[in-house]
Amino acid sequence: MIKKYGVFDIIGPIMIGPSSSHTAGAAKLGKIARGIAGDEPRKVKFYLHGSFSKTYKGHGTDRALVAGILGMNPDDDRLRESLRIAKEKGMEISFSEKDLGDVHPNTVNIEMTMNDGHVVSVTGSSIGGGAVQISKIDEEDIQFSGNYPTLLISQRDVPGVVANITKLLYDAEVNIAYMSLFRSQRGKDATMIFELDQNIDEKILGELERVECVDHVRFVPLSSNIINYPISQK
């Protein structure tokens, strides 16, 4: 594979140290997980695998993950105080070591309990230089980078659903950068992932949800505008 780098991949990102993979990437993972959950969780359990579990304290991986959950970006000055901020908000946080199997050394499983009690589980890896990859949502194996606004659609695996969805996106003039389909078994549940060139609004999301055989629709905007985290000035 030909590697290609832009100038801002070389000089940048602006980030809170000390490590692009263990700190900046971890913050990004936390933020995407929160984006997938759709709201601020009440309780979060982080299961750390491999290098993440061995060195997370020294690299501030714990603070970075929680900062992401709170909606902070990897360059947010409050990142190092995220554990305190989460505590003040009454968010329950715990970290533990766990062998997540044959995955990248810097992998974390984030289990978020929401206000209504339902649990959202997201697994992702920090693959270097601050780049990340999400590999699992709840029990579904999927894959996306979070570098684009991402649309995740769970559906029943029947012919025609993909066509209906892409038609809807076409009509809304939404351009698709990458698209992939993951299914557990023929005819059973499947997840479609669209990485888009632009954000989409509530109206389109509603229309997508009404497409036949679509179970639910999640949308993760670009990480910098997932949420406006209110600054706590105590």
Helix axes 161-171, 202-209, angle to 10 degrees: 160
CB of 28 closer than 8 Å to CB of 132: yes
Closer residue to other proteins in complex, CB, 4/203: 4
Site string for other proteins, 62-91 (x = CB under 8 A): xx-----------x-x-xxx-xx-------
Calpha distance 173→131 (Å, rounded): 28
Closer residue to other proteins in complex, CB, 48/217: 48
Task: Name residues contacting other proteins, limited to 87-116 (CB under 8 A).
Answer: 97
Calpha distance 216→59 (Å, rounded): 37
Q: Which residues pair with 134 in a beta bridge?
A: 124, 144
Q: Which residues pair with 120 in a beta bridge?
A: 112
**φ and ψ at residue 59, rounded to 5 degrees:** -100, 5
Contact between 128 and other proteins per CB under 8 A: yes
Task: Name residues contacting other proteins, limited to 10-69 (CB under 8 A).
Answer: 10-20, 23-24, 51, 53-55, 57-60, 62-63
With CB under 8 A as the contact rule, which of the stretches 125-133, 159-167, 187-195, 217-225 interacts with other proteins? Answer: 125-133
Torsion angle in degrees (nearest 10) through CA of 150, 156, 158, 161: -40
Torsion angle in degrees (nearest 10) through CA of 62, 67, 73, 75: -60
CA proximity to 151, closest of 225, 223, 224, 219: 219
Contact between 234 and other proteins per CB under 8 A: no
Contact between 197 and other proteins per CB under 8 A: no
Contact between 2 and other proteins per CB under 8 A: yes
Q: Which residue from 1, 8, 188, 228 is in contact with other proteins, where contact means CB under 8 A?
A: 8
Contact between 232 and other proteins per CB under 8 A: no
Binding site for other proteins (CB under 8 A): 2-20, 23-24, 51, 53-55, 57-60, 62-63, 75, 77, 79-81, 83-84, 97, 128-130
